Chains A and B, each alone.
Chain A
């Protein structure tokens, strides 16, 4: 047996595609059929579920967009499946052909479905409520009231006013659209409808989703993003070549960058003394405008620096030891701050010093090692960092010499030493030489390569500058979608009818009312009772009548008695105030 209970539906607005007669279809017919299929709710459902399933692999496999190193590692670890997954786009799921195809189809389906509905809804906005049916007894919500002294016309006009009146918290909004009909023989009726907001909300939600997609796409074309490491006391200028990495949309032009400069004056960090968890990071910077005016600003996590619609984020921080390397001839071959990348929560940082500019005829020098901000010697020659703050920094370095390979034309990672043409310095026993340096110390390099001195320890910050002009639109459409969604789910769609007629020869008026709602609506009967009470209570005035409105219970919504009672009592006090 098929499921008989059905919630409210819009299925009437969806053309059933089954009606097309397949055998006689021409090319146009086929296109039409495909369009109907694509815009049908069933295919939309299928696409939605496909989208959900297609999004899963992105959480199971490493993604190039988030972590290219992990992807490379995965391909190395899985030599058979890795390349195939790569070919099929499993490492770029969200920009893959199949994922894009699904959501684009979904949006085409959405547009094909929503546009005709928007047209129909706009036309329907001027519609009048349906005329009062002859028999009101077949509707899910009913109420009737006998022995009212007022004339039917007055009763119906009062009902019209009661139905038009908005809720108590929004008294000027019209809740129902009401028509009053003279049905002859002294019988009058009012037919009312509300809930256009529901479909309006539904359409706003779907159109806002389209707007959201368009905004995101526009943002992708117009945005730019640059990353730069700035060492304390140094600065950077806002131009493409100053950034370590720079990505931009297709519509970006280099001259759209404002040529301001930014200097890192100071960086502070605070950690929980027990758990060593980070508590606060703050970068104090000076921003100098092209016209020379300077302003001191602070950048914190969650509080980016905003400038000309672009935001500058504090994305990372670390230590950059100031080093001076002298070659065998005693010439300064390298001097400067070298950023070391933190590897763990105690800021054990890894870094590489490449010294290519040695005097003629000498080997180039590479220093690889770790910086330990607060070093503790756990065993002979074995140090470990125990605190992220620079309590007693130690630099642990191994020494390489040979050809750094910087002139091969192949771009190199600054944080990686290409060891293929280099040899590591070893001591007489053949063990690798390890240098330990504290700030202010200087040691000789083995094999007479020269010397290195650890001048001081400074800090650096990783800044992320980002501009996306579509952000405002993305927010606007997202909020529109949210409001539309709420309206489409919570605005009730109801029809009410009130009929008043003379009862026999007595000068009494019989009032009957009925209500119909889309789907299961527990508020329908209370609403009908409220309308009838609001209509009749003022009319009754001094006339005594035989009591309260009698709700005629009905089979379709058992168990609503509780809510009805509650709302009626709330309403009663409301009327008392009027």
Chain B
């Protein structure tokens, strides 16, 4: 078996590990929803018991104090207190603080399979580089692998202390889809690259671009969750107010309103304000990396094509995403545009990033066309 084949096998293995992680995160999420629904009519007394049972002795004091301090009205704060109280707990053998209604087993599986997948994917990428005899970021298959690696790595870092199941579900869902699409559609044999790509900027420019994409992915997941949580906090959903002419459509989907009972698990995630802060921190890092992508790309283009800026479709796409994220950063600091509205900019920006990667690579011809 050649090194390249081994790399491909490892990618399949990583995709499998991520699928297991996805299932585990989903189970965790389902458990949260389930518990949140079951707990709703009961009083705080029962919560301590539920907490103690599901915690398997880890951080009992934390959970109990969380139940007392936060109760169901503000579970996120309770979770925060649980984190602090964890230090007092004599039996705190694990570093994780587990909030009410979570499934420690599912979270453990999710966490370990995420780590396993990250390690296998990393090994696959390294082997791919050896098989091709160059840095492995030269075609769409390799972009996808490295992008997924960054996204899952960021997920693992963000979740190292506290699992936010929903972010896990979104990021793992995207990761598994991307890996399978890469293996099935983008796969090319590991090989050397053409002269235009023989430059150390292949490492910097492409590597930075992929990292930024990975970070934007996690930030996007946090922003989605932020908007959902915001909807619940403010008791507002577009599905509860009439849609004029299309009201029939609204009624068909009204069961999906974020304020409805099946989204009760959203109460378990951190407050919208904190999710916004998380999303912003990641987006800020992503934006700086994206700026570096543009600058690095311009320097490389100057070397390879004799023009630092060509208005090539790929460049335009990158520029559009940059402008949208710049608008996002401005929106955050503008009166009346913070919070939920700023998150919409994240959606648009992330859509631009993904479209720039997929639509521009596959459907538009340009100077970046050798990228797949």
Contacts and interface: CB of A to CB of B under 8 A. Distances in A.
B84 A553 contact: yes
Contact of B284 (A278, A315, A489): A489
B234 A45 contact: no
A3 B341 contact: yes
Contacts of B306: 225, 304, 311, 313, 315, 464, 466
Contacts of A561: 80, 83-84, 86-87
A485 B291 contact: yes
Contact of A486 (B84, B288, B304, B329): B288
Contacts of A293: none
A481 interface: yes
Interface in A496-533: 519-520, 522
A66 B339 contact: no
B323 A52 contact: yes
A300 B335 CA distance: 53
Interface in B171-210: 191-192, 194-196, 198-199
Given A1-B236, A48-B330, A55 B323 contact: yes
B interface: dominant SS: helix
Interface stretch (B7-15, B111-119, B310-318): B310-318
A interface: dominant SS: mixed
A58 B295 contact: no
Interface in A270-326: 272, 275, 277-281, 300-304, 311, 313, 315
Contacts of A313: 305-306
Interface residues of B, number: 75
Interface stretch (B27-35, B41-49, B247-255, B269-277): B269-277
A311 to B, nearest CB: 7
A555 B81 CA distance: 10
A558 B81 contact: yes
Contacts of B298: 474, 478
B309 to A, nearest CB: 8
Contacts of B271: 5
A397 to B, nearest CB: 31
A1 to B, nearest CB: 5
A266 to B, nearest CB: 17
A3 B323 contact: no
A448 interface: no
A3 B150 CA distance: 32
Interface in B321-337: 323-324, 326-327, 329-335, 337
Contacts of A10: 333
A434 B341 CA distance: 68
B25 interface: no
A559 B80 contact: yes
A139 to B, nearest CB: 17
B338 A5 contact: yes
A8 B333 contact: yes
A160 B208 CA distance: 40
Contact of B198 (A8, A301, A522, A560): A301
B109 interface: no
Contacts, number: 185
A66 B312 contact: yes
Interface residues of A, number: 71
Contacts of A401: none
B308 interface: yes
B89 to A, nearest CB: 13
A561 B339 CA distance: 24
A490 interface: yes
A301 B316 contact: no
B76 A558 contact: yes
Contacts of A45: 327, 330-331, 334, 337
Contact of B195 (A302, A520, A565): A302
A491 to B, nearest CB: 11
B287 interface: yes
B360 A59 contact: yes
Contact of A1 (B83, B234, B276, B316): B234
Given A5-B273, A560-B80, A11 B333 contact: yes
B354 interface: no
B312 A489 contact: no
Contact of B320 (A52, A300, A311): A52
A56 interface: yes
Nearest to A559: B80
18 contacts: A1-B234, A5-B272, A7-B277, A11-B335, A41-B330, A41-B335, A55-B323, A59-B360, A94-B311, A225-B306, A300-B195, A302-B304, A466-B307, A471-B308, A486-B288, A561-B86, A562-B162, A565-B87
> Closest 4 CB pairs between A and B?
A558-B80, A5-B273, A3-B339, A559-B80
Given A555-B77, A562-B161, 13 more contacts: A6-B338, A7-B338, A8-B333, A14-B335, A48-B327, A56-B316, A58-B313, A279-B194, A482-B292, A489-B329, A553-B81, A558-B77, A559-B76
